[in-house]
């Protein structure tokens, strides 16, 4: 099996590459990544010498390049995206370019090269925001995206479904909740707070800190995608969740406790505009049909994550200082 993985130098994509190379040592992987601010080849340092792994620097919206790469593979697993809500609020043009045009370019290449199998990694944010007692999102929840990020992901999901219905493209989609774990870029809540606390800095809690997310350990997410791409589930969508609804204050308190810090490290800051109140996932479909459920509970996962950031200070300190970009120059002359 030869896989084209897009966005493999990012957080979830790099975890997925590690997962696949370990579990299927005979699979071949091509990782197509533009190395935006979020792409970091240090995430894949230990795969660099592996003859089954190849990195290609490029844009998923580059039709010529994408066509050449898709021709050579059996399947596309599509992670590449602009992924940070706050950045999409400041400027969303790159979100439209990558999440909408990039996904369309990949779908065209999959269609034009013998209808290649296509798995699209998406988010629960396409479903909008829940009130405290609303039932959790499931595969039939109507789309109601509320940030430029989630709107661009919703557009990409619709395109993927359109290619299934119109061209019989063998697609699947997964909509997952907030991931956390190793290699998570320190602009998102959990890695930002852990690294700030390791630096003895305060943590910026938006608004009242009562917004709720469901948290999924990244390895559990990789295991779910592994099942989806290996089962006959063409045309299906799966919601993937971690069974761990927490508000941001709860997470902050768990982190303060784990890291031996007190509440003086919390700084309440101005809220994010249009801040979604709550996300929650009902994952009974993937549990029933594919036998998947999360294995890592939140307390274990958070502990493992804190340990990882403690033991990999070099990795995140370079990112926080901006120095990590030099690695590309040294390794690839770019
Ligand atoms: P990330 O921001 O860490 O990584 C994105 C990767 O895509 C980076 O390596 C970046 O260089 C690459 N990329 C961006 N634009 C590109 C382009 N035009 N061409 C090629 N590569 C490009 O993101 P992540 O957190 O790993 O998310 C991966 C996928 O999972 C995304 O599609 C995201 O929407 C989805 N998702 C993420 C979460 C989460 O909690 N992180 C939750 C639900 C869904
Ligand atoms: P984030 O990690 O950006 O993921 P998403 O917005 O995609 O869910 O944010 C998770 C939650 O944490 C969200 O409610 C916003 C909040 N948050 C803060 O309170 N402070 C921060 O500095 C960040 C980045 C997020």
Q: How far is the CA of 9 from the centre of ligand 1 (A)?
A: 9
Ligand 2 lined by 153 (C-beta under 6 Å): no
**What domains sit in the chain, N to C, each tagged with a CATH number?**
2-332 (3.40.50.720)
Mutate to test the pocket of ligand 1, among 5, 10, 176, 279 (most ligand atoms within 8 A of CB): 10
- Residue 31 pairs with which residues in a beta bridge? 5, 55
60 and 103 Cβ atoms separated by less than 8 Å: yes
CA-to-CA separations, 231 to 236, 252, 289, 294, 295, in angstroms, rounded: 11, 38, 10, 18, 20
Dmax over Cα atoms in the chain, in whole Å? 59
SS3 content of the chain, % helix, strand, coil (to 5): 45, 20, 35
CA-to-CA separations, 325 to 10, 51, 59, 300, 321, in angstroms, rounded: 14, 25, 17, 32, 10
Ligand 2 lined by 99 (C-beta under 6 Å): no
Ligand 1 lined by 181 (C-beta under 6 Å): no
Which pTM value belongs to this model? 0.97
Ligand 1 lined by 148 (C-beta under 6 Å): no
Kindly give the parts of the chain with pLDDT less than 50.
Answer: 332-334
Q: How far is the CA of 11 from the centre of ligand 1 (A)?
A: 7
Mutate to test the pocket of ligand 2, among 124, 179, 189, 214 (most ligand atoms within 8 A of CB): 189
Mutate to test the pocket of ligand 2, among 38, 248, 253, 278 (most ligand atoms within 8 A of CB): 248
Q: How far is the CA of 235 from the centre of ligand 2 (A)?
A: 31
197 and 261 Cβ atoms separated by less than 8 Å: yes
Identify which ligand lies nearest to the alpha carbon of 78. 1
69 and 32 Cβ atoms separated by less than 8 Å: yes
Q: What is the pLDDT of residue 327?
A: 53
Which residue is closest in CA terms to ligand 1's atom 44?
Answer: 123
User: Can you read off the two tokens belonging to residue 285?
Assistant: 């479909």
Identify which ligand lies nearest to the alpha carbon of 255. 2
* Contacting residues for 271 by C-beta, under 8 A, at least 6 apart: 206, 207, 208
User: What HEC string does 74-122 produce?
Assistant: CEEEECCCCCCHHHHHHCCHHHHHHHHHHHHHHHHHHHHCCCCEEEEEE
Identify which ligand lies nearest to the alpha carbon of 207. 2
- d(CA 294, CA 283) in angstroms, rounded, equals 9
């Amino acid at each position: 099996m030869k896989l084209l993985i897009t966005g493999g130098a990012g957080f979830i994509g790099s975890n997925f590459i590690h997962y696949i190379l370990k579990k299927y040592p005979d699979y071949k992987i091509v990782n197509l990544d533009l190395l935006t601010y979020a792409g970091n080849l240090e995430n894949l340092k230990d795969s660099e010498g592996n003859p089954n792994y190849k990195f290609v620097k490029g844009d998923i919206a580059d039709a010529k390049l994408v066509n050449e790469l898709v021709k050579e593979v059996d399947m596309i697993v599509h992670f590449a995206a602009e992924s940070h809500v706050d950045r999409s609020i400041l400027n969303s043009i790159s979100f439209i370019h990558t999440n909408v045009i990039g996904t369309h370019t990949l779908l065209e290449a999959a269609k034009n090269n013998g209808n290649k199998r296509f798995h699209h990694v998406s988010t629960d944010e396409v479903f909008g925001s829940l009130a405290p007692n609303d039932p959790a999102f499931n595969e039939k929840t109507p789309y109601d995206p509320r940030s430029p990020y989630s709107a661009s992901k919703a557009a990409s999901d619709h395109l993927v479904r359109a290619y299934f219905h119109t061209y019989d493209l063998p697609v699947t989609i997964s909509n997952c909740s907030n991931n956390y774990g190793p290699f998570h870029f320190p602009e998102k809540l959990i890695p930002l707070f852990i690294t700030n606390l390791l630096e003895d800095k305060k943590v910026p809690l938006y608004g009242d800190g009562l917004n709720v997310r469901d948290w999924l350990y990244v390895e559990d997410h990789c295991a779910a995608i592994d099942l989806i791409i290996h089962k006959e589930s063409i045309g299906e969508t799966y919601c993937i969740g971690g069974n761990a609804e927490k508000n941001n204050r709860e997470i902050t308190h768990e982190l303060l406790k784990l890291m031996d810090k007190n509440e003086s490290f919390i700084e309440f800051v101005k809220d994010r505009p249009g801040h979604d109140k709550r996300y929650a996932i009902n994952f009974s479909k993937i549990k029933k049909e594919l036998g998947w459920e999360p294995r890592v509970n939140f307390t274990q996962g958070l502990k493992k994550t804190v340990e990882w950031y403690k033991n990999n200070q070099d990795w995140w300190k370079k990112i926080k200082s901006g120095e990590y970009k030099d690695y590309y120059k040294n390794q690839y002359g770019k």
